[in-house]
Amino acid sequence: MKTLLVIGIGAGNPDHLTLQALQALNRADVFLLFDKGPAKHGLNDLRRDVCTRFATQRPWRFVEADNPERPPDGDSYRGAVRQLNDDKQQVIEQLIAHHVAEGECAGILVWGDPALYDSTLRILQAILAAGRVAFEYQVIPGITSVQALTASHRVPLNEIGGSVHISPGRQLPAHVEPGDSQVVMLDAHQAFNRLRGQGLFIWWGAYVGSPEELLIAGPLDEVADEIVRVREEARARHGWMMDSYLLRHV
Ligand SMILES: C[S@@+](CC[C@H](N)C(=O)[O-])C[C@H]1O[C@@H](n2cnc3c(N)ncnc32)[C@H](O)[C@@H]1O
């Protein structure tokens, strides 16, 4: 039987790797990498670095495939993501079928934790359901970008007894209730601007955990313009942006 290890590697700092992740890295015969284009080479550089530095106990190889492009959202965001995942499913299925031998163990390094805004587990389940290739898989949890953000800002994620809501920027609600904590990820359009004037506090971070980490915290109405400016400058400098934030009343 082939084995796949879906390994959460943390959100940009190799020190996020858990002992379980280190053990998993050292079980792999092959690491499957997906190239997301030049703008995101930095993300795969970290994956390569992790393998080279920490998978030291046995020989292994990389197998790389181009990550399919996401189709334009058109009328349906979910439709576009479903199409992307179908395309990714084909790519991953081919890699497993042709580049992982019977009895071998393949590692897929997932940014943060595989359970949070990542399609790898859904795709593996779909591949198994299609029944064309057989394998077993295990999931090794990782430090999420949410944990990295709260740690860098040294704040708790929730108020005492309060709820935590996590959403992509496009689904940010119009209000955050007192006592609730709202985390926003995948926000290309600075949705926090829509919540100005409500007395909220924001803890914002980009490239959190990496040497390029940027952090801004303060009353949203006072720091929103600065975040927009710093974010735009950094995005232009790096060619890509990875930011998230926590909002609540204080
Ligand atoms: C596709 S999701 C992947 C989330 C990941 N699986 C996790 O556990 O954090 C990508 C989003 O995570 C957030 N993110 C990931 N790494 C980050 C980092 N180092 N700093 C800030 N936000 C990050 C950003 O909101 C980004 O748009």
Q: CA-CA distance, 25 to 31, in Å (whole number)? A: 9
pLDDT higher than threshold 80 for residue 248 = yes
Contact call for residues 46 and 32 (beta carbons, < 8 A): no
Place of tokens 């929103």: 224
What angle do helix axes 120-130 and 77-99 make, rounded to 10 degrees? 60
Q: What is the CATH number of domain 145-249?
A: 3.30.950.10
Q: CA-CA distance, 119 to 126, in Å (whole number)? A: 11
pLDDT higher than threshold 70 for residue 42 = no
Taking alpha carbons only, the member of 103, 19, 29, 20 closest to residue 62 is: 29
- Domain 2-140 and domain 145-249, same fold? Reply is no
Q: CA-CA distance, 127 to 92, in Å (whole number)? A: 8
Taking alpha carbons only, the member of 81, 57, 59, 62 closest to residue 71 is: 81
What pLDDT, on the 0 to 100 scale, is given for residue 97?
A: 96
In this prediction, what percent of the chain has a pLDDT beyond 90? 83
Pocket test for ligand 1, best of 67, 109, 145 (most atoms within 8 A of CB): 145
Taking alpha carbons only, the member of 52, 115, 120, 58 closest to residue 91 is: 120
Contact call for residues 188 and 169 (beta carbons, < 8 A): yes
Instruction: Decide: 118 in ligand 1 pocket, CB within 6 A.
Output: yes
Instruction: Decide: 113 in ligand 1 pocket, CB within 6 A.
Output: yes
Contact call for residues 169 and 159 (beta carbons, < 8 A): no
Instruction: Decide: 246 in ligand 1 pocket, CB within 6 A.
Output: no
| pLDDT tens digits along 228-243 | 999 999 999 999 999 9
In the chain, what are the domain boundaries? 2-140, 145-249
pLDDT band at residue 46, thresholds of 50, 70 and 90? confident
pLDDT band at residue 39, thresholds of 50, 70 and 90? low
What pLDDT, on the 0 to 100 scale, is given for residue 81?
A: 77
What's domain 2-140's architecture?
Answer: 3-Layer(aba) Sandwich (3.40)
DSSP state string for 62-126? EEEEEPPPPPP-TT-HHHHHHHHHHHHHHHHHHHHHHHS-TT-EEEEEESB-TTSS--HHHHHHH
Q: Which atom of ligand 1 is nearest to the CA of 209?
A: 19
Instruction: Decide: 9 in ligand 1 pocket, CB within 6 A.
Output: no
Instruction: Decide: 185 in ligand 1 pocket, CB within 6 A.
Output: yes
The dihedral formed by the CA atoms of 192, 41, 108 and 7, expressed in degrees to the nearest 10: -50
Single pTM value for the model: 0.93
| Protein residue whose Cα sits closest to atom 27 of ligand 1 | 186
| pLDDT tens digits along 78-115 | 777 778 888 899 999 999 999 999 999 999 999 999 99
Calculate mean pLDDT across residues 57-67.
Answer: 92
Instruction: Decide: 111 in ligand 1 pocket, CB within 6 A.
Output: yes
Instruction: Decide: 145 in ligand 1 pocket, CB within 6 A.
Output: yes
pLDDT higher than threshold 70 for residue 69 = yes
